[in-house]
Each structure stands twice: as structure tokens, then as C-alpha cells.
Amino acid sequence: MATLILTFLLLLLATKLPESLAGHCTTTTATKSFEKCISLPTQQASIAWTYHPHNATLDLCFFGTFISPSGWVGWGINPDSPAQMTGSRVLIAFPDPNSGQLILLPYVLDSSVKLQKSPLLSRPLDHIRLSSSSASLYGGKMATIRNGASVQIYASVKLSSNNTKIHHIWNRGLYVQGYSPTIHPTTSIDLSSFSTFDVTSGFATVNRNSGSRALKVTHGVLNAVAWGFLLPAGAVTARYLRQMQSIGPTWFYIHAAIQLTGFLLGTIGFSIGIVLGRNSPGVTYGLHRSLGIATFTAAALQTLALLFRPKTTNKFRRYWKSYHHFVGYACVVMGVVNVFQGFEVLREGGSYAKLGYCMCLATLIGVCVAMEVNSWVVFCRKAKEETMKRDGLAEDRCSSGIHS
């Protein structure tokens, strides 16, 4: 039942949208009004536009925010393919290194930018027909660039008459070296800042983020249930049920069933993690990945150890038990720690799913404490009974010696 509740709470991740990362759109600025607007799924960004079908011209305004006083905010169009930074033509706003005033320059993101082979240099945009562009801070000329300052990037673009879909990207960075913006942060959110929208209907499609998030949620749910709950529960059954002489060897089969189920689910979750890593080049969660590999390796060694389990009469049995206990508890600790790391990776540190997991884990710990106290009470009672028996036998022997 606890496993079902935990799974249900974790599945809330799949339906919970990162509202704090989405912007609230508006069709009105201090200088212009637009017909349509949409909120973009990341970085609290949004975009407003007016499409003129008689000449296929698109007037738009992108709303973004700075994350550093010396940073940059950019928006652009990929004329060739969706969900790609490479090949995009972008407009990037940042403070002029000399005057400190906000400037807007055009850049072409070719393959050398992704590989960081050379600084990003401004150059005229090709493949898209840009009529005009400008940028301003929210608050007008008196506004200053600071952490969290809002920026508006205006552009007029001539579209093809038979194509009303725009593949656009947006992002922001911490620094500008001269007039060369440096690489943006490489979190999963920053690498998901792209979508496609139709300028006539306003319908927007996030090309990859939804599928990627579904995979991440599946990865998180499976691993939280497997490494974060089932394996600890299996360790608890082995420690406390074996002391119940009434159930005989049944405790071992319960323990093995729980651990094997956890290992199988964890293997699926681990495999999904490998796929996510391959699909996200440049994104590295070092501690989460290292703990995941270590946990899976320890669990695999535990499973293989069953094949070499000595008989109770074998002299190597005690060494095998010591190995089994050490590796098993290490696997449990690393698995639980990595579940909490996973919540941070998914930016769900304050979610109800994490709260639900903590409650399930706290319940399991509570059961452990209760069982441990009960074990010590039983142990002390048996020790006292044994002492009383020994004292009784000693008295009987003394009495027999006196009478004889």
C-alpha cells in the first residue's frame, strides 16, 4: 500500500507544470500593442506579435529577463529546423561594454558556437528578412540593467507567404566578453528553451520538452520506488522478520522478492537515465550520475552474490554475510541520497511528490525504530530469563549439595 501511495504522489510530477518557469504574456508595451501573445515554457519568458497577412510581415516583441547585470538575453529564429540552436539567427541584448547602455546586435549560431571553438561575433543575419529591430528595458530609458531586469526585444520579420510557423529559440547568459556573449547555463531548463508557434492561430508546440520531461518523470518515479523505497523495505524485512521463528524461512523469500523487484525496476530506471544522458549532450549532473552508477553497481553485485551464497556450514559463510550486509546497506544509503538529488535535478525540491516520498521514508524509519526497540526489549527479556534460569539452577545445585 505504501508503495502504491508513493508511486501516485511521484506521478504528480508528470502532471505538474513548472509554472514558476513560465511567463505571463501581455499584448501591450509602452510603445506598441499586439494582437496575440503566448507564455513560453521556460525562463519566465513570453512573446507577443501581430501578423500582417497581406504582406506576410510579422511584428513581434519578446519579453525576457536578465540573470546578471553583465549578462545577456537573446531571441531568434531557426529557419531550417525546430529544436535546434545550431543554425539559428538571433538578436542578443546586453549592456554596451563602453557606455553601459542597452544594445541589440545580430548573431548567427553556427556549429562552431556550440563547440565553443571561437568567440561569438556579431554579423548580419542571412536566411531571414529582418526589417527592423530594437530593445528596451521595462521602465524605459531610466531603467537599469540588474539581476532580474526585464527586457523587450522588438523585431519585424518578413515571412514566406506559404509558411506561418516559426521555429524560435530564446536564452540568457551571465557574461559578455567585449561584444561576444558567453555560453548560457546548461541546465535542462535552459537547454529546453525553444518551441514552434503558428502566427495565425497562436498555437504553440514545445517540440521536445514534453517528451523529455515525461522520460525524466518516469526515470524519477521508477528509481524513487526502487532504490528509495523497495530496497530499504527489503533490508528492513531481512533484519527484523528473520527474528520471528514462527514464520521460518519465509522471511528470506519475502526479502528476496522485494529486493529483486526493486532491482528490476531500478534497472529500467537506470537505463532511462542513460538514454536521457545521451539525449542531453552538455548537461552533466555529476553527483547524481555518480551516485546512480555506484548504486546500480552495488545492487548488481548484491544480486550476483546470491549465486555464490555459501551454505550455513561453510567456513566462508560469515565473510559472505559481512560482504552482503556492507554492500547492501551502502546501496540503500546511496539510493536514498540519490533520490533526493533527483528531486533537485527535476527542480521539485518543494513539491508534494517530495513531501510524499519523505512521509513514506519517515514511516519506514518509524517502523525500523519500533522494531528495533521491540527487538531490544525481547533481547533484554530473554537475557533476564536466562540469568534467572542460571541463578535458579545454581540455587538448586547448592541445595542438592547441602542435602547430600
Ligand-binding site membership of 184 (annotated):
no
Which DSSP state fits 41?
Answer: S
324 annotated to bind ligand = yes
Q: Which amino acid is at 154?
A: Y
SS3 24: coil
- Tell me if 219 is assigned to a ligand binding site: yes
Residue 288 annotated as lining a ligand binding site: yes
**Residue in 65, 96, 66, 88 with CA at minimum distance from that of residue 179:** 96
Q: How many residues does the chain have?
A: 404
Contacts of residue 197, defined as CB under 8 A and 6 or more positions apart, other chains included, come to 38, 47, 165, 166, 168, 203, 204, 205
Return d(Cα 193, Cα 153) in angstroms, integer.
Answer: 16
Which residue pairs from 275-278 have beta carbons closer than 8 angstroms and sit at least 24 positions apart in sequence?
Answer: 275/215, 276/212, 276/215, 276/216, 276/219
Which residues 6+ apart lie within 8 Å of 268 measured at CB? 222
Closest residue by Cα to residue 46 from 28, 68, 69 = 28
Name which of 207, 82, 41, 179 is nearest 121 in CA terms: 179
d(CA 332, CA 335): 5
Q: Using CB atoms within 10 Å of the CB of residue 396, give its burial: 0 to 12 exposed, 13 to 18 middle, 19+ buried.
A: exposed
**Which residues make up each annotated binding site?**
219, 255, 288, 324
**Which residues make up each annotated binding site for heme b?**
219, 255, 288, 324
